[in-house]
Chain A
Amino acid sequence: MKAQADTHNRTQRLNYVLAVIVGLSAIQMWMMTLSLRAYMAGDPTYLWVTAIISMLLCAVNILLWFFLVH
């Protein structure tokens, strides 16, 4: 019984982490489309801004994975 509850709790927490990582990755995808649009339009202004935001999101993803899942 205790083992079942433990597994359930772990699954729940994993679900939360998964939701956060999927959410952050979705934002990264959005950043990528913004970058591509800027590139196609010949506007270099936001290319580095979106790249830096994407790198920060990636770092958060890696930290979440490393400390909570790995």
Chain B
Amino acid sequence: MSAGSIRPDRSDAPAESWREAFPIDVAEERVENRRQFIKTMVAASTVLACGQVVLATAGQRELRTVVLSDARMLIDVQLSDLKIGEAAIFHYPDKHSPCIIVRLSENETCAYSQKCTHLACPVVPNVAEGRLDCPCHHGAFDIRSGEVLYGPPKTALPRVDLEISASGMIYVVGMKQVQS
């Protein structure tokens, strides 16, 4: 134990058997209580620090997400029009904003703004490679998340939220973008 330790040195104490059952002297009891309390405080402090790291991590992503539109709209593409691996174009939230919808699997469909975040060239799907490619400057986005994979774009593609009815009608319910 270091010289600065507060723990008592009991090396000179007689080695009696009752000591094992009652290791703390009456005079030491308050010290032990404080020591226990300090341990609890340090544990609480650690929990607080971890909590703040979790909050910062969660906040960093969530608070960077910007809602570009929350208008609900029925698009003129139906789920039955799209085979697996196929894509279609629609416009949202206005007729000057092309978006691309891709059917990735039986139950997985995603949609993004078709304008590349670099210089607004239209991105094209490359489902086999899991990418949306921008042919103008060779940028690419992940087809499942919209995040930049490589190339000049710095920001993820705006993601379009979809709602698909039981009959296969596709509703667009919003568009969000995660700021870099």
Contact = CB atoms under 8 A, between A and B. Distances in A.
Contact of A35 (B35, B39, B44, B52): B52
Given A14-B31, A24-B45, A48-B60, A69 B4 contact: no
Nearest to B60: A44
B82 to A, nearest CB: 36
A21 B27 contact: no
B37 interface: yes
A13 B55 contact: no
A56 B5 CA distance: 23
A40 to B, nearest CB: 10
B31 A47 contact: no
Contacts of B39: 65, 69
B27 A47 contact: no
Given A58-B45, A65-B38, A10 B31 contact: yes
Contacts of A22: 41
A4 B35 CA distance: 18
Contacts of B7: 69-70
Contacts of A10: 6, 8, 31
Q: Which secondary structure dominates where chain B touches chain A?
A: helix
Contact of B41 (A25, A31, A44): A25
Contact of A32 (B4, B35, B52): B52
Contacts of B28: 7
Contacts of A69: 6-7, 35, 38-39
Interface of A: 3-4, 6-7, 10-11, 13-15, 17-18, 21-22, 24-25, 28-29, 31-32, 35-36, 38-39, 42-44, 47-48, 50-51, 54-55, 57-58, 61-62, 65, 67-70
Interface of B: 2, 4-8, 27-28, 30-31, 34-35, 37-39, 41-42, 44-46, 48-49, 51-53, 55-56, 59-60, 63-64
10 contacts: A7-B28, A18-B38, A32-B48, A47-B60, A50-B56, A55-B49, A55-B53, A58-B48, A67-B5, A69-B39
Given A24-B45, A65-B38, A67-B2, 17 more contacts: A6-B8, A13-B6, A17-B6, A21-B42, A28-B45, A29-B48, A32-B48, A38-B59, A44-B59, A44-B64, A47-B59, A47-B60, A50-B52, A61-B42, A61-B45, A62-B42, A69-B38
